[in-house]
């Protein structure tokens, strides 16, 4: 019996030193991905990924192309085992993972994806001076409670917006430091258990990122986007699209827009998705998805052993 599945691609926070090295050693197709990314960035990024320091890898401008490279290496390794990407019903990625999804599905060339993510990482880092923005995770909050809390945070004129709706009870807010800290101090007023300030370098996915969105509009106008071989479930709409112009627009909106991951998973389930295959580093999304839909099975695609077992399952 055929399983209806989607390929999903992780975002920032999943990275670790050494990720993807065993894939590159085991699969020539995976090794080639790292070679193309290194050449397109004119940097030995693969060496940084495998032998560098956490601090280097954590720099947004390195993290973004690095995670995409590992995701694509996993996909190419799986393809070399005879699994075709168009066996999936959808692709979806969390934040920068959306670029990995588009590269995997043939909508963006691998070298272009690496270059655009380097630009995106630098632009997001530069959009807000250090120390002026903040993000906080709300534990046990509903979307309605998060909206109410953001209103309290904005009471003194700062920016406070929902950045990520990841899963039930797992919402992240983003904005100006004063407004997010004010919101975090008022969780009890709207019935939220707790807010945890996050150790991030910038307030991602909020309107303070507008300078980065403007830069991405310019950068994305220079690259070709084709229709993906299977529809992409976009972060900003939680709905499928295969239209290149629409995809380009969504990628620009995504810089300031909310990552609607919970709704994306709910949409997948509504379309009969029984299984997700998380391509790349770690299993953050697979664990998160179970909070949204207990019935959805999650497989990971990060090691040669994973490649073999997933190829057997999907073959």
The CA-atom distances, in angstroms, between 90 and each of 36, 46, 194 are 25, 28, 35
Closest CA to 192 of 166, 220, 207, 173: 173
The CA-atom distances, in angstroms, between 308 and each of 27, 67, 72, 140, 298 are 11, 21, 16, 37, 16
Residue found by looking up tokens 């709910």 in the block: 266
- Provide the 3-class DSSP secondary structure of residue 45: helix
In sequence order, what are the beta bridge partners of 298? 276
Task: Tell me whether residue 205 is one of the annotated catalytic residues.
Answer: yes
Residue found by looking up tokens 């052993």 in the block: 305
**Which residue of the set 40, 46, 71, 95 is catalytic?**
95
The CA-atom distances, in angstroms, between 131 and each of 80, 185, 193, 202 are 45, 18, 26, 8
* Rounded distance between C-alpha atoms, residue 25 and residue 310, angstroms: 19
CB 151 within 8 A of CB 179: no
* Rounded distance between C-alpha atoms, residue 308 and residue 223, angstroms: 34
**Which residue of the set 205, 250, 264, 286 is catalytic?**
205
Burial class (CB in 10 A: 0-12, 13-18, 19+), 22: middle
* Rounded distance between C-alpha atoms, residue 279 and residue 287, angstroms: 14
199, 10, 296, 233: CA torsion to nearest 10: 110
In sequence order, what are the beta bridge partners of 259? 164
Enumerate the active-site residues: 95, 205
């Amino acid at each position: 019996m055929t399983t209806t599945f989607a390929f999903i691609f992780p975002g920032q926070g999943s990275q670790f030193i050494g990720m993807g090295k065993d894939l590159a050693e085991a699969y020539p197709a995976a090794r080639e991905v790292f070679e193309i990314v290194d050449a397109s960035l004119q940097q030995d990024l693969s060496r940084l990924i495998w032998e560098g320091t956490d601090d280097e890898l954590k720099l947004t401008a390195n993290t973004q192309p690095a995670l995409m490279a590992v995701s694509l290496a996993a996909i190419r390794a799986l393809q070399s085992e005879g699994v075709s990407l168009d066996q999936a019903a959808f692709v979806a990625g969390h934040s920068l993972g959306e670029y990995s999804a588009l590269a995997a599905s043939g909508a963006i060339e691998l070298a272009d994806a690496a270059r655009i993510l380097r630009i995106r990482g630098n632009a997001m880092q530069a959009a807000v001076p250090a120390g002026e923005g903040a993000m906080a995770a709300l534990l046990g909050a509903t979307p309605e409670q998060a909206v109410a809390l953001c209103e309290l945070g904005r009471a003194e004129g700062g920016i406070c917006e929902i950045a990520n709706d990841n899963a039930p009870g797992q919402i992240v807010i983003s904005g100006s430091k004063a407004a997010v800290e004010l919101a975090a101090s008022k969780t009890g007023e709207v019935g939220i258990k707790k807010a945890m300030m996050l150790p991030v370098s910038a307030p991602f996915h909020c309107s303070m990122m507008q300078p980065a969105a403007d830069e991405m509009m310019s950068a994305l106008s220079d690259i070709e986007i084709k229709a993906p071989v299977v529809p992409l479930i976009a972060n900003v709409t939680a709905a499928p699209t295969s239209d290149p112009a629409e995809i380009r627009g969504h990628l620009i909106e995504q810089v300031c827009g909310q990552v609607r991951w919970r709704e994306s998973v709910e949409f997948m389930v509504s379309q009969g998705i029984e299984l997700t295959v998380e391509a790349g580093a770690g299993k953050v999304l697979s664990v998160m998805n179970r909070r949204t839909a207990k019935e959805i099975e999650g497989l990971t695609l990060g090691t040669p052993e994973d490649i073999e077992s997933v190829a057997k399952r999907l073959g």
